[in-house]
């Protein structure tokens, strides 16, 4: 069973990320919101949720606003 969490970073513009967890492995994605649907690009994988959040911080250069 997999779990998906949406992560929003502070600031405007492209600030939506996603973390998918499957089998104890966490994959972080940058989500691009489009008119007809969203697309996502992998930015890395981690062994813990905290490490996946750190990947998002490093990729965005911003602090986390919310995790849902």
- Chain segment 26-49, per-residue pLDDT in tens: 999 999 988 898 899 999 999 999
3-state secondary structure of 45: strand
Asked whether the CA dihedral 47, 7, 21, 29 is positive or negative, the reply is negative
**pTM of this prediction?**
0.89
Residue 12 has a pLDDT of: 78
- Report the domain count for the chain: 1
- Chain segment 43-62, per-residue pLDDT in tens: 999 999 999 999 999 999 99
Residue range of the domain that includes 33: 2-67
Residue 13 has a pLDDT of: 76
For the ranges 9-13, 42-46, 63-67, the lowest mean pLDDT is seen at 9-13
Neighbours of 36 (CB within 10 A): 5
């Amino acid at each position: 069973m997999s779990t998906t969490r949406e992560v929003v970073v502070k600031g405007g513009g492209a600030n939506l990320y996603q973390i998918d967890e499957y089998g104890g492995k966490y994959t972080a994605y940058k989500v691009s919101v489009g008119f007809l649907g969203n697309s996502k690009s992998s930015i890395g994988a981690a062994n813990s949720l905290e490490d996946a959040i750190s990947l998002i911080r490093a990729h965005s250069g911003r602090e986390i606003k919310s995790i849902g």
